[in-house]
Amino acid sequence: MNVLHIPYGSPMIDLCNALRLEGIHATSCHFYSNRYNFKPDLNLHLDSFASNLREEKIKEFINQALDKYDIFHFHFGATFLPDKSDLEILKRAGKKMVVHHHGSDVRMLSKAAQLNPYVRVKPGWPEEKILTDLSVLSSYIDHAFVQDFELEGYIKDFYKEVHVVPHAINPDQFQPSYPEAKSSPLIVHAPTLRDLKGTEFILDAVKELEQSGLSFDFKLIEGLTYQETQNLLSKADIVIDQLRIGASGYISTEAMAYGKPVICYIRPDLVDKYPSGFPIVNANPDTITAVLRNLISQPDSWKELGKHGRSYVERNHSTAKVGASYIEVYKKL
């Protein structure tokens, strides 16, 4: 079973690593270079070619891939070509396909706002585009993956089967460093987009708590490589993920793997859908100041929360468990 994952994103890299550990020949391929210095198995580096040559290069790659791969696993709702005409080519060739949605590629504000007053959506993903993409993809593809039930709600009416599978992490690659009680903890926040993550509310909370005399260090992680970000996460005492989306993200999982207490907004109707022992400290834009103050003021709880988080990741995000879930679906195709 040879599986090709395209066309960008760090999740596919982690997933391919997990699948290979389970005996699947999985290849992660990025089409463009990236500022985070992610390391996929292949990179076409299309940005090094003139724009009028890029589609030709992709079509050359499609022809090569047709001979080599049995299953095509698309991420972020993208396929080989912008108009998704490659789906017909793959179908005629008898290839099997799945699609993997990760967030902004399906999060529609009209639906999200009905359950979440804090939500924002990423610019560049208007609902018309999302609906068009979902309609085209689901006309060729029966099986879709998402990482949580917040995302499931946007696509469940399109695909024949939607599989909610947490993203894969190899705990062995994250050395836990549980925070010890101290007078001035290091708090970090790593937004990809400030508005999407509610960063302004975190900065306001930090300012208010500093002015109140509470002692702590705060680091806003922006513009760094993936490895630099990981280094700071491993040194943190408390990690704040996001306050708007309503579900935990990759930063939450990686921080828990490092054994850190994590603050993140989980939509109330989704809390019980997470596996038992979910240790996230829940906060939204209205409560972040009080929640952060309370957590800083209880240093004896940090280590215990960190241990619960590490255990949660080992139980629910391990490469063996997550990889097996994908393989089960692959075998259905």
Structure-token match 């004896």, residue found: 300
Instruction: Place 325 in a pLDDT band, splitting at 50, 70 and 90.
Output: very high
**Count of the separate structural domains present in the chain:** 2
* Separation of CA 86 from chain center: 26
The four Cα atoms 88, 62, 165, 253 give a dihedral, to 10 degrees, of -140
pTM, to two decimals: 0.91
Asked if residue 207 and residue 124 are part of one domain, the reply reads: no
Q: Is 194 exposed, middle or buried (0-12, 13-18, 19+ CB in 10 A)?
A: middle
Nearest-angstrom CA–CA distance, 74 and 101: 8
Q: Do 127 and 62 lie in a common domain?
A: yes
Alpha helices in 120-198 (DSSP H): 127-140, 149-155, 194-197
Q: How far, in Å, CA of 256 to CA of 178, rounded?
A: 10
Q: Is 317 within 8 Å of 148 (Cβ atoms)?
A: no
What single-letter amino acid sits at 292? L
Residues 160 and 253 in one domain: no
User: Above 80 in pLDDT, residue 245?
Assistant: yes
CB atoms closer than 10 angstroms to residue 8: 19
Query: What is the average pLDDT value for the chain, to the nearest integer?
Result: 95
For tokens 């029966």, the residue is 142
226 Cβ contact list (under 8 Å, min separation 6) = 10, 36, 37, 38
Asked if residue 302 and residue 192 are part of one domain, the reply reads yes
3-state DSSP assignment of residue 147 = coil
Q: Mean pLDDT lowest for which of 4-8, 93-97, 169-173, 261-265?
A: 169-173
pLDDT confidence of residue 124: 86
Contact 305, 237 (CB under 8 A): no
Q: Give tens-digit pLDDT for 26-76.
A: 999 999 988 777 889 999 999 999 998 999 999 999 999 999 999 999 999
Residue 34: per-residue pLDDT: 81
Q: Name the E strands within 62-200.
A: 71-75, 96-100, 143-146, 161-164, 186-189
d(CA 250, CA 271): 17
Q: How many C-beta atoms lie closer than 10 Å to residue 41's C-beta? A: 16
pLDDT at residue number 263? 98
**Residue 136 and residue 126 share a domain:** yes
- CATH classification at residue 221: 3.40.50.2000
Are 176 and 202 part of one and the same domain? yes
CA angle at 194 for the pair 191 and 197, rounded to the nearest 5°: 70
176 and 30 within one domain = no
For residues 166 and 322, give the distance between their C-alpha atoms in angstroms, rounded to a whole number: 7
Are residues 99 and 27 located together in one domain of the fold? yes
- The burial of 321, by beta-carbon neighbours within 10 Å (0-12 exposed, 13-18 middle, 19 or more buried), is given as middle
**Residues 145, 179 within the same domain:** no
pLDDT at 206: 97
- How many angstroms from the chain centroid is the CA of residue 168? 10
Distance CA 155, CA 235 (A): 37
- As a residue count, the chain comes to 333
Q: 208 and 150, same structural domain? A: no
Residues 152 and 189 in one domain: no
Is the CA virtual torsion 21, 27, 29, 33 positive or negative? positive
Could you tell me the two tokens for 177?
Answer: 């460093």
What b-and-e string marks burial along 223-245, b requiring 16 or more CB atoms within 10 Å of the CB?
eeebeebbeebbebbbbbbbbbb
User: The domain containing residue 108 runs over which residues?
Assistant: 2-168+318-330
pLDDT score of 332: 93
Q: Specify whether 146 is located in the same domain as 188.
A: no
Residue pLDDT, tens place only, 74-83: 999 999 999 9
Distance, CA of 95 to CA of 225 (rounded, Å): 35
Q: Name the more confident of 178 and 170.
A: 178
Query: HSE on the CB side for 260, CA within 13 Å?
Result: 30
